[in-house]
Amino acid sequence: MIKEKPLTNNIRPGKPPLNVREYEMAGGYQGLRKAISSYEPEEITDLVVRSNLLGRGGGGFSAGRKWSLIPMGEKAPRTKYVIANTDEMEPGSFKDRYLIEGDPHQLVEGMIISGYAIQAEIGYIFLRKDYGRVAEKLQVAITEAYENHYLGRNIMGSGFNFKLSIHISAGRYICGEDTALLDALEGGRGIPRAKPPHTTTVGLWGKPTVVNNAETVCNIPHIVDKGVEWYRSLSHTDEGGTKIYGISGKVNRPGAWELPMGTTMREILEEHAGGMKQGFRFRGALPGGASSHFVTEEHLDTRMDFASMEKAGSRLGTGTIVLLDDSKCPVGMVLNLQQFFCRESCGWCTPCREGLPWIVRTLEAVEQGRGTREDIAMLQSHTSLLGTGNTFCALAPGAMFSLQSALSLFREDFEQHVDLERCPWKT
Amino acid sequence: MSTDEGGMMLSQEETREIVSEIRHALNKGSVAIEALKVIQKYRGWVPDDAIEEVAGLLDMTPAELDSRATFYSLIFRQPVGKHVILICDSVSCWLMGYEDIKKHLIERLGIGMGETTGDGKFTLLPAACLGACDEAPAMMLNETLYTNLTPSRVDEILAKY
């Protein structure tokens, strides 16, 4: 069976992305044409619900169900907004860059169809500043889309009006959180908002807003163009579509690949990444970026979809695997992860603002051989003190996933640092 | 903390660009970050005087504007060198040995993280994951991404600037 790769079909590594004509020749904007000529907006949402496309930013929430929370009809509050979250700053994640740089029109088309489905007037692609190369290519695609009446007033004669622009942010990981992202778009400090209300009813400027990860949006044209049944058949599991998986670390061919949703970590590691680099042994992995729990060898054959990874005690997250090998110290890796979260905390709520620096200082002590068994117990207690329900947003609980799982899976390594009074990896 | 670069009134270009941002926005406050980016584009950083003047244009207090400016890691509230180096210190780069690259840059430039060389040429800053994990370690120099770094490759890159 030939595996279909709708999201990456047009990507030609090392070459510029398809322009609007080439994209059309490859079947591009057919999804939009079909959406506008054959479906009512609510029918598009229904297709996306039935496709079981789950949020690729790591949340795993049904994109269609999110859309269905948007008030529709003439009495719905206006303006409505649709936003592609391309803040991609989750350590270990590089899938959105690959997708958008490789095929910017696909994201543009996905945004227009998303806008049509919820009857939004305005769309933003929220891009981190460091993705300048992506911004250039996207801007060309947006300009071409306007010139060809895929954007603007009365799109393809349908009466649907939609404006799309890029917003280039100014740093900070927290701005990738849906509601902090809205603050950033409004020109303020990026601090998560209380939920409920959800952005779908009270979002940008207090209006109904859908925020979807860029990879999620890229799936939309294909669902509309080729149908729900085809889309679901792409997956190994109940969760629809393909997934952009990636691996970084000491493997022979680090990279990103579009594979059926539910591909195992072993297949990704051995077949696509060419296995471990010679001389290095697999010790563990974060399956989906920094905000996921370590898994070890016993989970190499677990299907990498949202439900299966959760059952395995971790998360699919962004689906980009960060691989720990035996040449690197697990305590050092966790320290690096916690330093990141500590620096990126917005400082709004106390457990995150005060707890993360405490964790970093304690981990530093342990890593440098100055730690005690009590320190390890203290770290353990923080994994629940900063856990889900005790903080304002998901940043600190996300940070605790790697710490908590490392304390259980690599306990001996932590204790060895205390007993030897040094890091065993340092001579 | 006024400095030599401070004490400048907004230039005509700066004012024009900020006013144009305001005209296209729903309200004045929403262009805060864009306005700061305009200042930074022309001056490389955002001095205190500019904060005061831009706040005036946006009908907010300098403190309010500064609270927004200081939140964002890529809005610089201190002078930076001609070229800004952002070195990725996130987990994939850590796994692939970014610490050697950082050490090499610090030795080569003779400055610590967050500092600028005496000739005003380079500033060295840490950065969150640059999304180039499959080609780690990585850094950005101004707008350009450099990957698969080794100490000798870093030397070649620096020689170009």
- Nearest-CB residue to B131 (from A97, A172, A337): A97
Distance from CA of A151 to the nearest CA of B (A): 19
Q: What is the pLDDT of residues A9-67, one digit of tens each?
A: 999 988 999 999 999 999 999 999 999 999 999 999 999 999 999 999 999 999 999 99
Is residue A89 within 8 angstroms of chain B, CB to CB?
Answer: yes
- Nearest-CB residue to A290 (from B31, B86, B91): B91
Nearest residue to B24 (alpha-carbon basis) of B13, B10, B35: B35
Return the half-sphere exposure (C-beta side, CA atoms, 13 A cut-off) of residue A52.
18
Q: Are residues B142 and B89 in the same domain?
A: yes
Going by pLDDT thresholds of 50, 70 and 90, the confidence category of residue B1 is very low
Residues B42, B50: Cα–Cα separation, whole Å: 11
Instruction: Report chain A residues whose CB lies below 8 A from the CB of B71.
Output: 172, 189-190, 346
What would the mean pLDDT of A102-126 be, rounded to a whole number?
98
Does the predicted interface ipTM exceed a cut of 0.85?
yes
Quick check: helix, strand or coil at residue B126?
Answer: strand
> B27, B45, B69 — which closes off a domain?
B69
Residue type, B123: T
Which residues make Cβ contacts (< 8 Å) with residue A159, sequence separation at least 6? Answer: none
Distance from CA of B80 to the nearest CA of A (A): 16
Instruction: Report chain A residues whose CB lies below 8 A from the CB of B72.
Output: 169-172, 190
Give the tokens for residue A165.
Answer: 């622009």
For residues A145 and A102, the answer to whether their CB atoms sit within 8 Å is no
End-to-end CA distance of chain B: 30
Is B68–A173 a contact, with Cβ atoms under 8 angstroms apart? no
Residues A116, A411: Cα–Cα separation, whole Å: 51
Distance from CA of B40 to the nearest CA of A (A): 11
Q: Are residues B155 and B127 in the same domain?
A: yes
Is A187–B91 a contact, with Cβ atoms under 8 angstroms apart? no
Is A320–B96 a contact, with Cβ atoms under 8 angstroms apart? no
Going by pLDDT thresholds of 50, 70 and 90, the confidence category of residue A2 is low
Q: Is the dihedral of CA B125, B126, B128, B132 positive or negative?
A: positive
Q: What percent of chain B has pLDDT over 70?
A: 95
Q: Which fold has domain A250-325?
A: Ubiquitin-like (UB roll) (3.10.20)
Instruction: Report chain B residues whose CB lies below 8 A from the CB of A290.
Output: 90-91, 129
Is A133–B90 a contact, with Cβ atoms under 8 angstroms apart? no
Instruction: Report chain A residues whose CB lies below 8 A from the CB of B40.
Output: none
| Model pLDDT, residue A427 | 77
Distance from CA of B11 to the nearest CA of A (A): 22
Is residue A353 within 8 angstroms of chain B, CB to CB?
Answer: no
| Model pLDDT, residue B2 | 41
| Model pLDDT, residue A3 | 79
Q: Judged by CB atoms within 8 Å, which residues 27-46 of A form the interface with B?
A: none
Q: Which fold has domain A20-233?
A: Rossmann fold (3.40.50)
* DSSP for residue A113: H
Domain containing B29 equals 12-69
Q: Which CATH class is domain A330-420?
A: mainly alpha
- Nearest-CB residue to B129 (from A93, A250, A286): A93
Is A336–B91 a contact, with Cβ atoms under 8 angstroms apart? yes
Is B74–A170 a contact, with Cβ atoms under 8 angstroms apart? yes
> B25, B41, B69 — which closes off a domain?
B69
Nearest chain B residue to A330 by CA distance is: B95
Is residue B145 within 8 angstroms of chain A, CB to CB?
Answer: yes
Give the tokens for residue A82.
Answer: 């649709």
Q: Phi first, then psi: what are they for A354, rounded to 5°?
A: -95, -35
pLDDT at A162 over 60: yes
Q: What is the pLDDT of residues B113-153, one digit of tens each?
A: 999 999 999 999 999 999 999 999 999 999 999 999 999 99
pLDDT at B102 over 50: yes
* Per-domain residue ranges of chain A: 20-233, 250-325, 330-420
Q: Where are the alpha helices (DSSP H) in chain B?
A: 12-23, 32-43, 48-57, 62-69, 91-95, 98-109, 151-159
Instruction: Report chain B residues whose CB lies below 8 A from the CB of A337.
Output: 91
For residues A224 and A113, the answer to whether their CB atoms sit within 8 Å is yes
Whole-structure pTM value: 0.96
Q: What is the mean pLDDT of chain A?
A: 97
Q: Are residues B91 and B118 in the same domain?
A: yes
- Which of A248, A293, A338, A343 has the most B C-beta neighbours within 10 Å, making it the best mutation to test the interface with B? A248
Q: Are residues B102 and B141 in the same domain?
A: yes
| Model pLDDT, residue A284 | 98
Domain with residue B143: its CATH number is 3.40.30.10
What would the mean pLDDT of A219-232 be, rounded to a whole number?
98
Is B133–A94 a contact, with Cβ atoms under 8 angstroms apart? yes
Is A91–B127 a contact, with Cβ atoms under 8 angstroms apart? no
Domain with residue B57: its CATH number is 1.10.10
| Model pLDDT, residue B8 | 65
Is B94–A343 a contact, with Cβ atoms under 8 angstroms apart? no
How far from chain centre, in Å, is Cα B47?
13
CB burial of A155-187 (b: ≥16 within 10 Å; e: otherwise) equals: bbeeebebbbebbbbbbbbbbbbbbbbbbbbbb
Is residue B138 within 8 angstroms of chain A, CB to CB?
Answer: no
Q: Where are the alpha helices (DSSP H) in A227-349?
A: 228-233, 265-267, 306-311, 330-344
What would the mean pLDDT of B18-35 be, rounded to a whole number?
94
B5 lies in a domain?
Answer: no
Give the tokens for residue A272.
Answer: 């696509």
Is A94–B89 a contact, with Cβ atoms under 8 angstroms apart? no
Q: Are residues B87 and B65 in the same domain?
A: no
Q: Judged by CB atoms within 8 Å, which residues 13-42 of B form the interface with A?
A: 26, 29-34, 36-37
* DSSP for residue A55: -
Q: Which residues pair with B92 in a beta bridge?
A: none
B3 lies in a domain?
Answer: no
* DSSP for residue A82: E
Going by pLDDT thresholds of 50, 70 and 90, the confidence category of residue B21 is very high
Helix, strand, coil % (nearest 5) of chain A? 45, 15, 40
Is residue A2 within 8 angstroms of chain B, CB to CB?
Answer: no
- Which of A81, A89, A136, A336 has the most B C-beta neighbours within 10 Å, making it the best mutation to test the interface with B? A336
Q: Phi first, then psi: what are they for A377, rounded to 5°?
A: -65, -40
Residues A185, B34: Cα–Cα separation, whole Å: 10
| Interface A:B, Cβ pairs < 8 A | 128
Q: Are residues B98 and B143 in the same domain?
A: yes
Q: Phi first, then psi: what are they for A298, rounded to 5°?
A: -65, -15
B102 lies in a domain?
Answer: yes
| Model pLDDT, residue A287 | 97
Q: Are residues B91 and B154 in the same domain?
A: yes
Residues B61, B69: Cα–Cα separation, whole Å: 12
- Nearest-CB residue to A249 (from B73, B95, B132): B95
For residues A180 and A188, the answer to whether their CB atoms sit within 8 Å is no
Q: Is the dihedral of CA A276, A279, A285, A288 positive or negative?
A: negative
Total tally of structural domains belonging to chain B: 2
> B45, B69, B93 — which closes off a domain?
B69
